[in-house]
Structure 1
Amino acid sequence: MSPPAAETQKQESNRKEEARRGYTYEDYKHTAEWLLSRTEHRPTIAIVCGSGLGGLGDLLKDQVAFSYGDIPNFPHSTVPGHAGRLIFGNLNGKPCVCMQGRFHSYEGYPLWKVTFPIRVFRLIGVQTVIVTNAAGGLNQDYKVGDIMVIMDHINMPGFAGQNPLIGPNDDRFGPRFPPMSDAYDKGLRKIALAIGQELGFSEKMREGVYCSLGGPNFETIAECRFLNTLGADAVGMSTVPEVIVARHCGLRVLGMSLITNKAVMDYSNEATANHEEVLQAGKDSARYFEKLVTSLLPRIEPNNNVF
C-alpha cells in the first residue's frame, strides 16, 4: 500500500473511532471542574446565543470570559456571527453563563460534540437553559423581526437516525428513553409571552413549532412547503440537539427563535435566503430580544426537578 493511501486509511479509521467513542463522564467532569476553578460565578441559567444574537453575552456584569479554544474538550465555532466565547456573569440579578455562538453538525462535528456544553452546564449547577436561534419563517403570518417562543419541535435529522443520545446511555445524566412531549417548559413560555406584552411589543411575539434541519444549505421551495404542511412555523439548523440533551439530564428549557427571513414558498418569487440577511435581521431586532431575555430572568424560579 502506497504511503498516501495508508495515511488516508488511517485518517478514516481515526474518524470512525472518534465518531464511535464520544465523550466520557470524566471528560465532562474535567471541563466542568476546569471552569469552576477559574471563576467564582455559579450560574443557574445558561443562555445559548444563535446567529447575530451574541450581544446578550455582552450585557452580563462582572464578566469572566473564556475563548472556546482555551476550554478543555470544547469544539471551536466556525460560523460568522458566532464569537466563540463562554461568558460567566450576572444579568439582571441572576447568575448566568452565556454561549456566544454554538456548534452545528454542518461544521463537521458529531452531535455528541455539538451538545457537549449542555452536560457541562448540568455539572456546574445550571438548572434552566434558554436556547435562541435565527430562523426562517414558514408560517406566512410571520414577519421578519418576530420572536417565536418555541412550543414544540420537529427533529428531521432524528428521523434519519441522527440523535445526540445515540450510543451507550450514562444513567448519571439521564434515562435511556427520555420523553420529549414536554421539551419546552409551559410556565416559561407563558412568562415570555406575558413579558413581551408588558414591554409593548406583543405584535412581535409568536408561539409555534420549530423544525431543525442539518444544513448548511438553505431550504428549497418544495422543502419549505413540505415542512409547513407538516406543521412547522419556522425552520433552522440548530437548537434541537441541545434541547434533547438538556431534557435528558433534567434541565428546564425555554426556546426562542428570531425570524430573520421569510422562507421562499412561491416559485414566482426570485428572492433567495443568505446568511448576511440573517445577521442583519438579528442586529436590527437584537434590542427586542435582549430586553425580553433580561426581563425574563428574574422570574425564573429554581428548578427543583434537576437530579
Structure 2
Amino acid sequence: MKAVDTAAAYLRAHLPFTPDLALVLGSGLGGLADQIEQPVVIPYREVPGFPLSTAPGHAGQFVAGVLGGKKVLCMQGRFHYYEGHDMSAIALPVRVFKALGCRALILTNAAGGVNWDFSVGDFMLITDHINFMGANPLRGQNDESIGPRFCDMTHVYTPELQQVALQVAAAQGLTLQQGVYLGYMGPSFETPAEIRAFRTLGADAVGMSTVPEAIAASHCGLPVLGLSLITNMAAGMAGKRLSGDEVIEIANQRGPVFQGLVRGIVEAL
C-alpha cells in the first residue's frame, strides 16, 4: 500500500533506531511521552499522508526514544472516526508501525464504565471488543501484502501480553479490571438506554476509539495490548450529565499511576 510505504519511509529516515514497541496514548494520557529519554518529536503534519489530530488533549505528534529500556514510538494523540477521518486514515499509523518493525502495539484510552462493579479511576485490561461504530477499517480493496481478505478476530488482544499486564499490575499493587470494550462512533455521549443495551450485550466499558486500531493490528499480524482508564461512569449510571472536561480532569488525576503501569509493562516486554 503506497500510503503505508511512503509514511514508513519518512519516519524511518527521521528515527534514530528501529522501534521495538508502539504506543498510542489516549485522552489525558499523553504525559507518558514526557518520560521518554532522548526524545525525537515528529508532528503528524510532517508525515506524508497523515491527517491532523483535533481531539482535546491530543498533542498530535510522534515521540520516539527510550522508555523502560525499550526503543518506543509513541503516538501522543490519535485519530478518531468522529473527527471525520476515514477508517483507512485511522488504520494507517498501525500499518506503519508494522512496516517499521514494531513487535507489539499498546493501545490506551479513556473510557466510560458500563460495568456496575467499576469505579471512576479504575484501570481495565481489554480482553475483547464489540465494534458498534458502524464501520470497519478493512472495508474496501484488500492489500494481501498487509493481511488476508478475511481476518480472524478470535484473539485480537494478545493473551500473552495480557498476562504480562496482569503480572505488572499485581507487582505494583494495582487492581486491574478486565472486560469488554465497546467502540461507539461518537462524538455525542451514549444515551442511558444505549448503555443499558450495551451492558446487556456484554460491554464493560465504552469509548470512541481503539477498535479500528485493534482491527487493523489484527489484520497485519501486530500483537496488541489494550488498556482503558475509566474516567466516568456511563450515561444514566451516576445521575449526572457527562462532559468532556470531566474525562480530561480524571485522566489527568489518574494519569501518573496509569503511566506507571504502562511504563512497567513496557519494561517487562
Tell me, yes or no, whether TM beats 0.5.
yes
Residues in 2 aligned to 1:211 and 1:129: alpha-carbon distance in whole angstroms: 19
Aligned to 2:51: 75
Aligned to 2:268: 299
Contact 2:189/2:235 (CA < 8 Å) preserved in 1? no
State the Cα distance separating 1:299 from its structure 2 match.
Answer: 2.1
Aligned to 1:169: 142
Matched, 1:112 2:81: no
Aligned to 1:56: 32
Residues in 1 aligned to 2:164 and 2:43: alpha-carbon distance in whole angstroms: 32
Task: Please state whether the residue corresponding to 1:170 is helix, strand or coil.
Answer: coil
Matched, 1:30 2:20: no
Task: Please state whether the residue corresponding to 1:184 is helix, strand or coil.
Answer: coil
Gaps spanning 5+ residues in structure 1: where? Answer: 1-24, 301-307
State the Cα distance separating 1:37 from its structure 2 match.
Answer: 0.8
Q: Which has the higher contact order (CA 8 A, sep 6+)?
A: 2
In the TM superposition, what whole-angstrom CA distance separates every residue of 1:100-141 from its partner, at most 9, and x where no partner exists? Answer: 100011111110011211111111111100000000000011
Matching residue within 242, 247, 257 for 1:273:
242
Aligned to 1:253: 224
Q: TM-score, normalised by structure 2?
A: 0.98
Task: Please state whether the residue corresponding to 2:227 is helix, strand or coil.
Answer: strand
Paired residue type of 1:177: F
State the Cα distance separating 1:26 from its structure 2 match.
Answer: 1.8
Q: 1:270 to 1:142 in 2, by over 3 A?
A: closer
Matching residue within 146, 160, 169 for 1:196:
169
Residues in 2 aligned to 1:79 and 1:247: alpha-carbon distance in whole angstroms: 25
Q: TM-score, normalised by structure 1?
A: 0.86
Paired residue type of 1:295: G
Residues in 1 aligned to 2:151 and 2:247: alpha-carbon distance in whole angstroms: 33
RMSD of the alignment, in Å? 1.0
Residues in 1 aligned to 2:167 and 2:2: alpha-carbon distance in whole angstroms: 41
Residues in 2 aligned to 1:68 and 1:264: alpha-carbon distance in whole angstroms: 33
In the TM superposition, what whole-angstrom CA distance separates every residue of 1:28-64 from its partner, at most 9, and x where no partner exists? Answer: 1111111111121210210001100101111111111
Task: Please state whether the residue corresponding to 1:180 is helix, strand or coil.
Answer: coil
Task: Please state whether the residue corresponding to 2:138 is helix, strand or coil.
Answer: coil
Residues in 1 aligned to 2:183 and 2:216: alpha-carbon distance in whole angstroms: 15
Rg larger in 1 or in 2? 1
Task: Please state whether the residue corresponding to 1:163 is helix, strand or coil.
Answer: coil
Task: Please state whether the residue corresponding to 1:98 is helix, strand or coil.
Answer: strand
Aligned to 1:151: 127
In the TM superposition, what whole-angstrom CA distance separates every residue of 1:266-289 from its partner, at most 9, and x where no partner exists? Answer: 5xx640111100001111111111
State the Cα distance separating 1:65 from its structure 2 match.
Answer: 0.6
Paired residue type of 1:242: E
Task: Please state whether the residue corresponding to 1:189 is helix, strand or coil.
Answer: helix
Q: Which moved further from structure 2: 270-279 or 208-217?
A: 270-279
In the TM superposition, what whole-angstrom CA distance separates every residue of 1:64-84 from its partner, at most 9, and x where no partner exists? Answer: 111111111111000111010
Contact 2:53/2:77 (CA < 8 Å) preserved in 1? yes
State the Cα distance separating 1:89 from its structure 2 match.
Answer: 0.6
Residues in 2 aligned to 1:178 and 1:198: alpha-carbon distance in whole angstroms: 35
State the Cα distance separating 1:265 from its structure 2 match.
Answer: 2.8
1:181-192 to structure 2, matched below 5 A, reads 181-192=154-165
> What percentage of aligned pairs have identical amino acids?
46
Equivalenced residue count is 269
